[in-house]
Amino acid sequence: MPNFAPRSLSLARPPEGGDGLFKGLAEQIRLLERAVSHQEERFGAVMDIGRALGSTLDLDELLTLVMSKVTLLLGAERSTLFLIDPATGELWSKIAQSAQEIRLPPGRGVAGWVAKRGEAVNLADVYQDSRFNPEIDRLTGFVTRCLLAVPLRDKSGELIGVIQALNRMEGVFTDDDQLLLEALAAQAAVAISNAQMYQALRRQNLALARTQGELNQLVAELDVLYDIEKRISGATTLQQLLDGIIARGMQLTGSEAGSLVMVSEDGGELFFKAALGEKGEEVKRHTLGPGEGIVGWVAHQGTPVLANDVARERAFD
């Protein structure tokens, strides 16, 4: 009869020659876990940027976040976002992780080539490619080894800039890196479009507010003219008319007193034809010599004076 007696199986020690197999499997599992973790980090970064897009319209804040994620997730030493200047066609560094702004003539350098052709570029050794412009390295003191650059397009597909990452710290940039950078570039383009739309609407609102203010001012001026016309038609004496006009002026300017000064027929003294306020009747008993005081200076020069601190106006003492 067959012997069905249980047999003992020990896993404490792999079969002879199996050490390498187990080590290989363990290494594959470790690499797989590392790859999954890396992909989770990348997905989380994309989600972070997406949430930021809905929380603020501060373009610099959003793009700084995007570029920090680009540098971190691509394992790069630094990254740069270039925008195209519509006036000159130049590329200029909107967000650059360097100490100075970078400007590139149209078509110059790898970023210029990407902006002109609308195609991504992945260089494992930049100094072996004729499109690379070493002048930027000389200006910044940064030594570029490898480079990944992708175009930046708005919602309509128009090319508005370039995002590039420099010097992958482990190896060179991969196809997966390019896919990630293109996804981040799409989010950056959304941020730029939204911020530009917001700024345009804000400028329109400010223009409307200015127009409304000017309209209100015009209405107020017409109201004053209409009020003066009513006072003229309703006044029975010149003094009553002048007092009414001064009272309206005091109301509009929030003044405590007001007066109307006239030059005597011989062109000499100035006298107060009308005066309102606490000392109005007393003021009307005074006269001023030619050029005396602020009123005399205005009468002599024919130029208005705004003096919010008359004690400092020594020229009119």
pLDDT exceeds cutoff 90 at 238: no
Q: Is residue 12 part of a domain?
A: no
The enclosing domain of 306 has a CATH number of 3.30.450.40
Instruction: Looking at the structure, tell me whether residues 303 and 180 fall in a common domain.
Output: no
Residues 316 and 294 sit within 8 Å (Cβ to Cβ): yes
Backbone phi, then psi, for 194, in 5-degree steps? -65, -45
Looking at the 3D structure of the chain, how many domains does it have?
2
Q: What is the pLDDT of residue 42?
A: 65
From 173, 196, 219, give the residue that closes a domain.
Answer: 196
Instruction: Say if 226 falls within a structural domain.
Output: no
Do 121 and 58 lie in a common domain?
Answer: yes
Give the highest mean pLDDT range of 25-29, 39-43, 113-117, 296-300: 113-117
What's the whole-number mean pLDDT along residues 4-29? 58
Domain that holds residue 265: 235-316
Instruction: Please tell me the predicted confidence (pLDDT) of residue 121.
Output: 96
The pLDDT of residue 4 is 44
Paired residues of 263 in beta bridges: 270
Q: Tokens 């329109």: give the residue.
A: 204
Per-residue pLDDT reduced to its tens digit, 175-207: 989 998 998 888 888 777 777 777 788 888 888
pLDDT classification of 8: cutoffs 50, 70, 90: very low
Q: In this predicted structure, what is the pLDDT of residue 283?
A: 83
Average pLDDT value for residue range 106-125: 92
Q: Are 56 and 187 members of one domain?
A: yes
Q: Which of 36-45, 140-149, 253-262, 298-307 has the highest mean pLDDT?
A: 140-149
Do 43 and 178 reside in the same domain of the chain? yes
Q: Are residues 126 and 35 in the same domain?
A: yes
Residues 52 and 176 in one domain: yes
More confident residue, 178 or 269: 178
Residue-wise pLDDT for 39-79, tens only, equals 666 666 667 766 666 666 677 777 787 788 888 888 999 98
Does 144 lie in the same domain as 55?
yes
- Kindly report the average pLDDT of the chain as a whole number: 80
Q: Does one domain contain both 66 and 166?
A: yes
Find out whether 241 and 227 touch, Cβ atoms under 8 Å.
Answer: no
User: Can you give the pTM of this predicted structure?
Assistant: 0.54
Which of residues 196, 226, 261 is at a domain's end?
196
Query: 3-class SS at 266?
Result: coil
- Regarding whether 308 and 187 lie in a shared domain, the answer is no
CA dist 101 and 126 (Å) reads 21
State how beta strands 76-84 and 159-168 pair: antiparallel
Residues 175 and 267 in one domain: no
